[in-house]
Amino acid sequence: NAGVTQTPKFQVLKTGQSMTLQCAQDMNHNSMYWYRQDPGMGLRLIYYSASEGTTDKGEVPNGYNVSRLNKREFSLRLESAAPSQTSVYFCASSERQGGSNQPQHFGDGTRLSIL
């Protein structure tokens, strides 16, 4: 099925470790996003990429870096994981701006625990 694929689905890290969350979409979308969702809360935007070659900070970028590897792939890196980064991470994609009524399509999420 077409959609957004995130890997891994689950991960446990120790404080200070680094890791990269991978995201790929096969819908030929220009825009991609990374969100975090803490228990019982809404989505907070970490970073987004309007198109290949561009990235912009969202609401909560500190402690994260991103790479838009190509049109399909957008990765999120935690350089030195902290317990405050324990969360569920969602990747999403959408068509670019310009009167678009296209929604975001989401991956299934990565559940990340940092001890």
Partner 1 sequence: AQKITQTQPGMFVQEKEAVTLDCTYDTSDQSYGLFWYKQPSSGEMIFLIYQGSYDEQNATEGRYSLNFQKARKSANLVISASQLGDSAMYFCAMRLYNFNKFYFGSGTKLNVKP
Which helix (H) or strand (E) covers residue 23, if one does? Answer: strand 19-25
Q: Between the CA of residue 48 and those of 11, 17, 113, what are the distances in Å?
A: 22, 23, 23
Binding status of residue 19 toward partner 1 by CB under 8 A:
no
Binding status of residue 39 toward partner 1 by CB under 8 A:
no
Cβ-based nearer residue to partner 1, 14 or 39: 39
Judge contact between 70 and 26, C-beta under 8 A. Answer: no
The residue range among 10-18, 20-28, 40-48, 74-82 that interacts with partner 1, by the rule CB under 8 A, is 40-48
Q: Out of 21, 24, 31, 87, name the contact with partner 1 by CB under 8 A.
A: 31
Counting Cβ atoms within 10 Å, is residue 18 exposed (0-12), middle (13-18) or buried (19+)?
Answer: exposed
Residues that bind partner 1 (CB under 8 A): 31, 33, 41-43, 45, 48, 50, 58, 88, 90, 92, 94, 96-101, 103-106, 108-109
